[in-house]
Structure 1
Amino acid sequence: MLLSHRARLLELWRIAASYRIDTHIPLDDAPQMQSVARLIRLHPAAWGKKHQPNAIKYALEDMGTLFLKLGQLLSTRRDLVPPEIIEQLIQLQDQVKPFDPEIAIKQIQDPKQGLGQSVNTLFARFDNKPLAAASIAQVHTAALTDGREVVVKVVRPDIRTTIIADFELLRELASWISARVEAARAVHIIDIVEDYRQVMLNELDLTLEADNTTKMRNNFLGSALMYVPEVYDASKNIMVMERIQGVPISQVETFDKLGYDRAALAEKGLTIFFTQVFRDNFFHADMHPGNVFVETPPVKTLSAAMSDETSSARLGHQPRYIGLDCAIMGTLSKEDQMIVARMLLAVMNNNFTALVDIVSRAGWIPPNTDKHALMRDMSRTVGPMLQKSINDIDFAGVLMQILDIARRHHMSIPPQLMLLLKTLVHVEGLGRDLYPDLDIWSLAKPILSGWIKEQLDPMRNLQQLRTQLPEILLSSTDIPKLLDQSLQSLASQGSRQDSQLREIQQIRADMLNDRRRDWIALAGFGVFVAIATQVGFLAPIFYILALLAVVWRILA
């Protein structure tokens, strides 16, 4: 099955052996990894070599972008990964091996995929030493000709070929696993790989990231929660954006020295997540600590704020989050938004009967599923989470149990929700580091309840209907044509449908005769909608009249 990728597999084996990453695997805590460690030691590249510092970091760098991304994801999971490995993985957030600055300058000046002008023309100052280097790109600081401080993001050279090759390998692995593991089929692992492949390829186009950044910036303009830097220029391989002042969210010691309220900061972060998912339906899906910063005071007051005598709060600084690296963004359909919100609210209300009913109505389980057994399993697995703080919840363990429940009950989880689950893993990991005692349930419940109430508000729905009314009226003109097509289709089936044909023809005749009256009724309903959404204190009256008009037309 994997013979076509034999060279790549051998390369990965050689890299693992040359860095002796087997000496970093805690075999006592993970005995199932002993066979992996033995396989690594068998490679000639491992012979004669001993334990090497930072071996896992260097190995993942040499393995390529996909493995760097995996390391970044695991870097937020202190509950799953031993501390000595975590310290290596954290460096992958912004301390990946940089590439030659001369290559970066050539990329910037490239007329096709760069900015097409010399660095000296574009910038008053360009700093050759990278500020940070990550899996996809590295960042240089610079100043525009008008003095504004900026950062210049440059995509790594020749990265696309490697990513495409690795995804071909990953897809074959996914196919192999899917054919043998039912839980993999339940989460549509092949579709997930294909979706993530496209996401990764999109991440290489910085014009898309620039558009995403601008959109998220507009969503949070004037917000006390988050600030998104302004993009000044962008091409396929280059992006120039405003330089911000802040520190990664992982630097909790800095927050303590600045006098930041870590509990309030954690609550603010969770509010941002739910705001992005439900209000904006546009959420950051790559929230490792290298992409999430927190504002620090202006340079003139920073040293004072770091002293023991002066806190940032007394300096009047209320920190916001800073959103960076908007390459991977997620969206949900309106239906999926409502399903996710109702599911979370059902869990928070300890109502697992409602949870199973929502899953059933969404079509995620077969009609013959034993719903009572599914309800018991979900209650036993998810229920204990409700009384715990984020530090006491094993999200990864619970997620694996839920996937096992999905397998046993033949539940099908839509692929579009897996990106959201990945984001939740990131958010949970960040919250665990920032403020372990955060009560995510009490904070999330009013946010979700308010959003659902807003979605079900009759006046809001009437306003939407008013907007869509012209399209509805125009589409109604197609009904006779559709009926004619249906008649022709039924006629071809023979005389068995004669009686049905006569009934449909009568309906069509009645509709054509009443067409003028229908137009008047629809127009009248449109007037009711327009008035109901504009006149405040009379709105309920017109709303009731509009409903009565609809009922009258149905019964007429």
Structure 2
Amino acid sequence: MLVPKVRDAAHSQKKSKWWHLGRKKKGSDHSPSTTLLSVPERLRLAFEELGPTFVKLGQVLSTRVDILSELVGQEEALTWITEFQKLQRHAQPFDFSEVRTTIETEFNRPLEEVFPTYEQHPFAAASIAQVHAATLKTGEPVVVKVQRPRVATIIQTDLNLLMELAERLENRDPEMHLFKPTELVREFSRSVRKEIDFTIEAANTDAFYHRFSESPKVKIPKVYWEFTNRRVLTLERIDGVPIDAIDQLDEMGFNRVELAEVLVELFYTQVLNDGFFHADPHPGNVFVLEDGKIGLVDFGMVGRISDDMLRHICNWLSAVLTKDADAVVRSYIRMGILGDETDIAALKLEMNDFLQRYFNMPPSRLRLGELIHEVFNASLRHQIHTPPAFLMLGKTVATMESVVMKLNPDFDILKFSQPYITQFIVQNVGTKRWERQLVDSVEDFTELARDMPLQLRRILQKLQRGSLKFELEHLSLEAVIKAFDRVINRIAFSVIIASLIVGSSIILQGVGLWEWKFFLGIMGYLTATFFGFGLVISILRSGRF
């Protein structure tokens, strides 16, 4: 499946204006510019042409500074991120007849019976779906998100392709194991599969709706479940001003400083109180309503953090903000994410050097998202396997901070964040927390003591029947077997070559020049020579002789 897919992609690329690397220039044919398209631009155009899965992949890469920094360097990473962020713009909408067919198929009735009024032109179109304005029979204004035709099949095919490519990368380049490409593809696959099931986004939206239904500062759209399924999502329509429309916000008299504070407070409420947060708060998903509330939409990408992981993250972030390199490394040890060959002394030295240098800059230059990504990059160089939840949180912080800085360029997010983090840490080391942990531990030990006799009895019974089995896996045995196979194959070839030489010599003894045995002996010598040269070349290429 890999070869046909790549062949089709290459064929479509060759017909495109961007494929001819040294021929096509930026601008029109009459443009005086002679600048060639850059590699990031060509790859972004390739992703757009390859379809929804690769567009999503580019969107994900636009948030993974850690990966791009290691692959292309920190200076080049910003160029790649800027280019990949263009993939978040509106996609080409699909025909309204397809929209009608999808809705009527999913609800088994005419479109007009479901939505009496329905705008044929979408006001937003993305790689997986597009969004239309409509009204219900009750007159309530709604937005309807409709999935693109056959997108699920296309995405599944592309995900299989990506997994095959990732496996080949890991097998051919040992250094790629540090980036865990197959694990990244699995994580990406889970994320994309969730996005094409709109009932998951609906459940996320519903959870946020009930969580903030009484909030005077936040508005979440209501889900209309009777008009929602895997391919169609119907939500309450929220009208507001995009959070980055600065001039319009000023004209309407909103206090941008207060809006920035509400946005950061909302973020910490989601993360520290709920462990459940909107993971894509870019300006297209955040609005300011007429009454001053912050409106959040598009809950296709959310983050979940366990209590233990959240405690580790807060301890780590507190250590970073207090420039305590030793505490940063201790957090890594407690999380169990240090690599087997990590040099702890070198890690501490680099962390201390970076933190001291970073916090010596003026407060106006400090950025929390940038700080987190810089620490991630330093950690990656020391083979620290950062948890996916950690990376998603870092990306969300960076996105949220960019919006906040547009609202108020003088906003000191580090100073504003510290009380929230400190309060969380204090709450989690208090008496009640310890009491709850002690009760949980006692329950775990009680359950273990209760189950242990039964488990021991089952083991003894299997031992008596001779059915007790052990599975052993030697992690490095495969390489040893391959090396052993090569040695055996070379010995076998050597024996064959020696046999051909000896056999040919015996045949040629006492044989006339033009007898058939003479030609048979010569063929034996030639065959031995051919195999001998092959064996010598193989040994020389291996570098082990």
What is the TM-score normalised by the length of structure 2?
0.69
Q: How does 1:113-124 map to 2 (within 5 A)?
A: 114-124=106-116
Are 1:107 and 2:102 counterparts? yes
Residue 296 (structure 1) aligned with residue 289 (structure 2): yes
- Residues 372 and 394 in structure 2, CA contact (< 8 A), matched pair in contact too: no
User: In the alignment, is residue 216 of structure 1 matched against residue 211 of structure 2?
Assistant: no
* Counterpart position of 1:264: 258
Supply the distance in 2 between the matched residues of 1:332 and 1:61 (Cα, whole angstroms): 32
1:62 aligns with 2:54: no
Residue 399 of structure 2 is aligned to residue 426 of structure 1: yes
Name the amino acid aligned to 1:207.
T
Query: Which is further off, 432-441 or 350-359?
Result: 432-441
Q: What is the rounded CA distance, in whole Å, between the counterparts of 1:178 and 1:395 in structure 2? A: 30
Aligned to 1:52: none
2:520 maps to: none
Match of 1:344 in 2: 317
Q: 1:107 corresponds to which letter in structure 2?
A: T
Q: 1:399 aligns with which of 373, 376, 386?
A: 373
Root-mean-square deviation (Å): 4.0
Counterpart code for 1:229: P
Post-superposition CA distance 1:140-185 (Å, at most 9, x none): 1111111111111111111122222332333344345545777753
Q: Paired residue for 1:147, among 139, 154, 157?
A: 139
Match of 2:229 among 226, 235, 238: 235
The answer (yes or no) to whether the contact 2:370–2:398 under 8 Å persists in 1 is: yes
Instruction: From 414, 421, 428, give the equivalent of 1:455.
Output: 428
Q: 1:333 is matched with which residue: 306, 309, 312?
A: 306
Counterpart check, 1:14 vs 2:14? yes
User: Could you say which residue in structure 2 is the equivalent of 1:514?
Assistant: none
| C-alpha spacing 1:248/1:8, structure 2 compared with 1 (3 Å) | farther
Residues 137 and 376 (structure 1 numbering): CA distance in 2 closer, same or farther, change over 3 Å? same
Q: Are residues 1:201 and 2:193 paired?
A: yes
Change (3 A) 1:362 1:380: same
Q: 1:474 to 1:229 in 2, by over 3 A?
A: same
Matches within 5 A, 1:531-542: none
Q: Structure 1, unaligned stretches of length 5 or more? A: 26-30, 41-55, 298-316, 493-556
Kindly provide the amino acid, as one letter, of the partner of residue 231 in structure 2: N
CA apart distance, 1:340: 1.2
Partner of 1:44: none
The structure, 1 or 2, with the larger RCO (C-alpha pairs under 8 Å, 6+ apart) is 1
Counterpart residue type for residue 273 of structure 1: F
- Alignment partner of 1:254 is 2:228: no
How is 1:537-552 mapped onto 2 (pairs within 5 angstroms)? Answer: none
Does structure 1 conserve the Cα–Cα contact (< 8 Å) formed by 2:367 and 2:414?
Answer: no
Are 2:343 and 1:370 equivalent residues in the alignment? yes
Taking a change above 3 Å as real, the CA distance of residues 295 and 103 of structure 1, as seen in their structure-2 partners, is: same
Question: For residues 206 and 81 of structure 1, what CA distance do their matches in structure 2 show?
Answer: 32
Secondary structure of the 1:481 match is helix
When normalised by structure 1's length, the TM-score is: 0.68
Q: 1:471 to 1:103 in 2, by over 3 A?
A: same
Q: Give the count of matched residue pairs.
A: 442
Structure 1 residues 380-391: aligned runs within 5 Å = 380-386=353-359, 387=361
Cα drift, residue 483 of structure 1: 5.5
Distance 1:35 1:106, change over 3 A: closer
Q: Secondary structure at the match of 1:359?
A: helix
Pairing 1:282–2:276 present: yes
Question: 1:96: which partner in 2?
Answer: 91
Contact residue 129 and residue 145 of structure 2 kept, 8 A: yes
Letter in 2 for 1:155: Q
1:17 partner SS: coil
Q: One-letter code of the match for 2:17?
A: A
Residue 419 of structure 1: how far off its partner (Å): 2.9
**Contact persistence 2:194–2:200 (CA under 8 A):** yes
Measured in 1, the distance between the counterparts of 2:124 and 2:318 equals: 40
Match of 1:167 among 152, 159, 165: 159
| Contact kept in structure 2, 1:142 and 1:149, CA below 8 Å | yes
Please state how far the C-alpha of 1:71 moved relative to its aligned partner: 5.9
Matching residue's letter, 2:132 = H
- CA deviation profile, 1:238-262 (whole Å, cap 9, x unmatched): 1111001112223222222223233
Q: Is the 8 A contact 2:368 2:413 kept in 1?
A: no
For residues 125 and 20 of structure 2, the distance between their equivalents in structure 1, rounded to whole angstroms, comes to: 24
Please name the residue that 2:483 is paired with. none
SS at match of 1:437: coil
Alpha-carbon distance between aligned partners in 2 of 1:295 and 1:365, rounded to the nearest angstrom: 43
Partners of 2:463 and 2:49 lie apart in 1 by 64
Q: 1:160 to 1:384 in 2, by over 3 A?
A: farther
Correspondence for 2:267 among 269, 273, 294:
273
Q: What are the within-5 Å matches in structure 2 for residues 314-329 of structure 1?
A: 317=291, 319-329=292-302
Indicate the SS of the match to 2:435: helix
CA separation in 1, counterparts of 2:39 and 2:453? 69
Alignment of 1:415-494 (within 5 A): 415-462=388-435, 476-482=449-455
Report what 1:137 is aligned to: 129
Go from structure 1 to structure 2 and tell me whether the alpha carbon gap of 1:18 and 1:358 turns closer, same or farther (over 3 Å shift): closer
Tell me if the contact between 1:188 and 1:415 (Cα under 8 Å) persists in the aligned partners. Answer: no
Segments of structure 2 that go 5 or more residues without pairing to the other structure are 28-34, 66-75, 466-545
SS in 1 for 2:107: coil
Counterpart-to-counterpart distance in 1, 2:14 and 2:317? 45
Sort the Cα spacing of 1:443 and 1:398 in 2 relative to 1 into closer, same or farther, 3 A. closer
Is the CA contact (8 Å cut-off) linking 1:391 and 1:437 kept in structure 2? no
State the one-letter code of the partner of 2:152: R
Shift of 1:32: 12
Secondary structure of 1:231's partner? coil
Give the superposition deviation at 1:472: 7.0
- The one of 183, 187, 190 equivalent to 2:182 is 190
Query: Amino acid of the residue matched to residue 403 of structure 1?
Result: N
Aligned to 2:118: 126
Between the aligned partners of 2:309 and 2:326, the Cα distance in structure 1 is 19
Deviations 1:190-244 (A, max 9, x none): 2121111121111111111111110111222222442210001311111111001
- In structure 1, the residue corresponding to 2:132 is in which secondary structure? strand
Give the counterpart letter for 1:267 in structure 2: E
